Amino acid sequence: MTTSKGHIGQSHRRENALRHLAGRGRFVTDLVLPRMLHAAFVRSPMAKGKIVELDVSDAAAASGVVRVFTAETLNDMCAPWTGVLDHFAGMQSGAQNLLAEKEVLWAGHPVVMILAHSRAEAEDACELVMLDIEDEDAVVDGEAALAGGSPLAAEGLDSNLCFQTVLKTPGLDEAFSSAAHVVEGNFTFGRHTAVSLEPRAIVADFDPSTGQLNVHQGTQTPYQFQDVYSRHFGLPEGKVRVIAPDVGGSFGMKLHVYHEEMATVAASLKLGRPVRFVADRLESFLSDIHARDHRVKARMALDSNGGILAMDVDDMTQIGAFSSYPRTSVAEGNQVIRLMGAPYQMPDYRGRLSVVFQNKVQTSQYRAVGHPIACAVTEALVDLAAEELGLDPFEMRQRNLVADDAYPYVSATGYQFEKLSHQASLAKLRDLMGYDALRQEQATLRTQGIYRGIGIAPFVEITNPGATFYGVGGARISAQDGAVVRLTPAGDVYCAISVTEQGQGTETIIAQVIADQLGVTPDQVKVSTGDTDTTPSGGATWACRGAGIGGETALRAGRKLQEQILTLAAAILQTDPTLLSLANGAVVDTATQHERITLAEIGRIATYRPDTLPKGCDHSLTVAQHYAPTGYPFDFTNGIQASYVEVDIETGVTRLLKHWVVEDCGRIINPLLVDEQIRGGVVQGLGPAFFEECLYDDMGQMVNASLADYLVPMAGEMPDIEIAHIETPTLDTILGAKGVGEAGTAAAGAAAMNAVNDALRPTGARVSQTPMTPMRILTALGHL
């Protein structure tokens, strides 16, 4: 076995960070190809209407314009796509196509595509398009959408209900009727969006002489897009190559199928030359997926000791005019109702989900799908219960969190937990934040008219998804990942892997894992990602699979290569491979650790002098490995967060003072990267809790679609974030790693909401809507 361990678990810096620090990143937005055209889109200015007139002749004649496409001239290139999955029984959605045909369904729906020599010329020509739309009543609000007599969000739908489901345990009614206490609340979670700093970007390059389509795309999931382009444009998969170089932030937003990307590919196929589309920020707000947009009614039944008996939850998710493709817009709500109460021993549950269409841009999977909603609702009710029973929030959690020795455990919603560490996390958090001293400080300051609040929120996070996630519903989304690892003639290691890098540090952790298997250092392992032609196919990066699934794939590939090297070395050294191992870039004698032959020498012999090897000796020095999880359907991580805030009850302004996270992501491969994933995630949870919201008027117009109006959390508003870890490796894999990318986002908002309400407690006010803007806090205080 491996003798030179020790890179897994170390804080290695990211080699690829050096390029970015030097200003030498390679983003799709930086790419220029010969004869490349630039695309701009004319979008519907209205949320709903019929296209009655469309005249593009002036635009087509404008300076620099090469082609103008409308639905009539482009849509036949592509098979329409429909965002439904079989396992969401009864769900409906309209089919989508490249450009709007006859009707427009949200303000921002692309109607015309203009290709010109420069982006500026294409945009100029957009102004010359005559587009007349007969305005129709837009479906803006989800509740109104479900009321009788509401217009439909799109033609061809049965109703505005996309999907409905109910989960229920048999004892629910009994739990509520026998409860000593029932607490309840209504919650509203605003729409927000990813605001990746690099907008969506694509350069499609079709070469008619070879039939090869190369697509350079800022995406997390190149293989998924290879499959989508191949199927929807009728191209052999082998003729479609998707290259995802550096990606300037994605967070789930860059794995959905969008009209503009599909139209860009179609245009390149038509014209046989490279076509580029880069969204500007306004377009990003109008066309990137939005997230959340839930209204939740929930109640919780408790016994006289504060033991949680049951929850009864009704979630309405508002998703826009279509369900997104290929993952659907139902996955979020589905996860919301299944994650409710997840950290707690709670025997009974009912969760009802209604997914509703509206005339807005579609919502879909964004970092920590469903988690922040389930966590905020659960934790708000647990805090309400603690208040009613006169229990400290820590005491309340201690009584109810699943015990650390109770695993394996199945939640009332059917999730199977292998092993979590809620109680240990709770205790660790209490120490980390110095809870008792904080409570004292809070009490002292209150006497001076300063309102501070402490909020805590335990969570579980879903990671390492297997085929039961999307595959069972018929989606062509890979549940497995693949790696090819080889020893070069000079004795270096090269790994091509399907999990992708968007700055999380995928390439670094893969290098660490492989280095440990082969007795080299991580800087001797070159990792390449993000190109469907040069890496094996796989799911890539979504739902936290990089470390857990990608890392395990790399580990197994590394071990295979280790075995191959040792077999070859044994043949060369005329000894038994079981007596040899790898360390310090060489094959060593296991017993003495003495060097027998270097990897460079093995590479040299295998490559240049295979004639000196015994007959039949395998000297390929390359292995391929694919891996898909086979144990639990997916893994869960857990943790707990705490927030310390100050609320100015005169102005409603909130100041975030400090945030703490205790987190258990299983085996930690690189603590430096894990901590930064958590911090970034926390800020993406605090943003929508306090600032971020896509605001719409009654006509369905987004009214803050610019970075001047949409508030993104800034350095000055964000607190320092202290992090501690517990490690409970999953036994499903050799590596034991779960995921961590969404943990920060999962519970930050819940902790913050509890903290704000704790600060407000002496006033009797409560906030249950995010973002918790000064206006909403003042309204809760009765000042407005």
| Smallest separation, CB 10 to ligand FES (Å) | 22
- Helix or strand (DSSP H, E) at 264: helix 259-271
Give me the residues paired with residue 504 across strands.
none
Q: How far apart are the first and last CA of the chain?
A: 69
Min dist CB 123 to ligand FES, Å, is 16
Name the residue nearer to ligand FES (CB basis): 22 or 197: 197
User: 634 to each of 463, 470, 736, how far by Cα in Å?
Assistant: 6, 12, 13
Handedness of CA 408, 412, 416, 422 (dihedral sign): negative
Q: How many CA atoms lie within 13 A of 431 on its CB side?
A: 8
504 binds other proteins per the rule CB under 8 A:
yes
The residue type found at 572 is I
Q: Which is nearer to other proteins, 319 or 640 (CB)?
A: 640
Which residues between 290 and 319 bind other proteins (CB under 8 A)?
none
280 binds other proteins (CB under 8 A): yes
Q: Which does 117 bind (CB under 5 to 8 A by kind): other proteins, ligand FES, none?
A: none
Q: Does 51 bind other proteins (CB under 8 A)?
A: no
Smaller CB distance to other proteins: residue 20 or 297?
20
Two structure tokens written together for 640: 């707990």
Find out whether 494 and 554 touch, Cβ atoms under 8 Å. no
- For 428, the enclosing helix (H) or strand (E) is helix 422-433
Q: Per-residue x/- mask for other proteins, residues 249 to 268, rule CB under 8 A?
A: xxx-----------------
CA–centroid distance for 97 within its chain = 25
Task: Indicate whether 32 belongs to the interface with other proteins (CB under 8 A).
Answer: yes
How many Cβ atoms from other residues are within 10 Å of residue 406's Cβ?
Answer: 14
The least CB distance from residue 195 to ligand FES, in Å, is 10
Of 2, 27, 399, 607, the one binding other proteins (CB under 8 A) is 27
User: Which positions from 709 to 738 touch other proteins by CB under 8 A, shown as an x/- string?
Assistant: ---x-xxx-x-xx-----------------
Q: Which does 688 bind (CB under 5 to 8 A by kind): ligand FES, other proteins, none?
A: none
> To the nearest whole angstrom, how small is the minimum distance from the Cβ of residue 504 to ligand FES?
10
Q: CB of 226: closest distance to other proteins in angstroms?
A: 22
Q: How are beta strands 348-356 and 308-318 bridged, if at all?
A: parallel
Q: Could you tell me the smallest distance in angstroms from the CB atom of residue 20 to ligand FES?
A: 8
Residue 155 interaction partner, one of ligand FES, other proteins, none, beta carbon < 5-8 Å per kind: none
Looking at beta carbons only, is 97 or 541 nearer to ligand FES? 541
Nearer to ligand FES, 277 or 632 (CB): 277
- How far CA 53 is from CA of 124, 133, 215, 237, 682, in Å, comes to 20, 7, 33, 38, 48
Q: Which two tokens stand for residue 514?
A: 């492989």
Q: By CB under 8 A, tell whether 672 contacts other proteins.
A: yes
Q: Which stretch binds other proteins (CB under 8 A): 39-47, 327-335, 403-411, 680-688?
A: 680-688
Residue 673 site contact among other proteins, ligand FES, none (CB < 5 to 8 Å, cut-off depends on kind)? other proteins
Interaction site with ligand FES (CB under 6 A): 197, 249, 503
Among ligand FES, other proteins, none, residue 573 binds (CB under 5-8 Å by kind): none
Residue nearest to ligand FES (CB): 197
Length of the chain equals: 784
User: Which of 55, 95, 87 is closest to 72 using CA atoms?
Assistant: 55
Residues of this chain, 681-710, that bind other proteins according to CB under 8 A: 681-684, 706-708
Instruction: State the nearest-atom distance from the C-beta of 8 to other proteins, in Å.
Output: 17
Q: State in angstroms the smallest separation of the CB of 503 from ligand FES.
A: 6
Q: Which stretch binds other proteins (CB under 8 A): 206-214, 324-332, 503-511, 631-639?
A: 503-511
Judged on CB neighbours under 10 Å (0-12, 13-18, 19+), 392 is: exposed
Structure tokens at 3: 């003798």
The DSSP call for residue 86 is: T
Whether the CB-CB separation of 729 and 664 falls below 8 Å is answered with no
C-beta atoms surrounding 443 within 10 Å: 10
**What distance lies between CA 268 and its chain's CA centroid?**
29
Integer angstrom CA distances of residue 323 from 230, 288, 320, 431, 476: 21, 13, 7, 45, 16
Residue type, 415: Y
Cα gap 765→553, rounded to integer Å: 51
Q: How far is CA 17 from CA 29, 259, 564, 741, in A?
A: 18, 32, 32, 18
What is the three-class DSSP state of 298? strand
Q: Which does 697 bind (CB under 5 to 8 A by kind): other proteins, ligand FES, none?
A: none
Q: Is residue 5 at the binding interface for other proteins, with CB under 8 A as the rule? A: no
Q: Is 496 in the site for other proteins (CB under 8 A)?
A: no
Question: Taking the complex as a whole, how short is the minimal distance between the CB of residue 252 and ligand FES, in angstroms?
Answer: 15
If contact means CB under 5 to 8 A according to the sort of partner, which of other proteins, ligand FES, none does residue 29 touch?
Answer: other proteins
Radius of gyration of the chain (CA): 28
Q: Which does 712 bind (CB under 5 to 8 A by kind): other proteins, ligand FES, none?
A: other proteins
What residue ranges bind other proteins (CB under 8 A)? 13-14, 17-25, 27, 29-30, 32, 120, 194-199, 246-251, 280-281, 502-505, 672-673, 676, 679-684, 706-708, 712, 714-716, 718, 720-721, 744
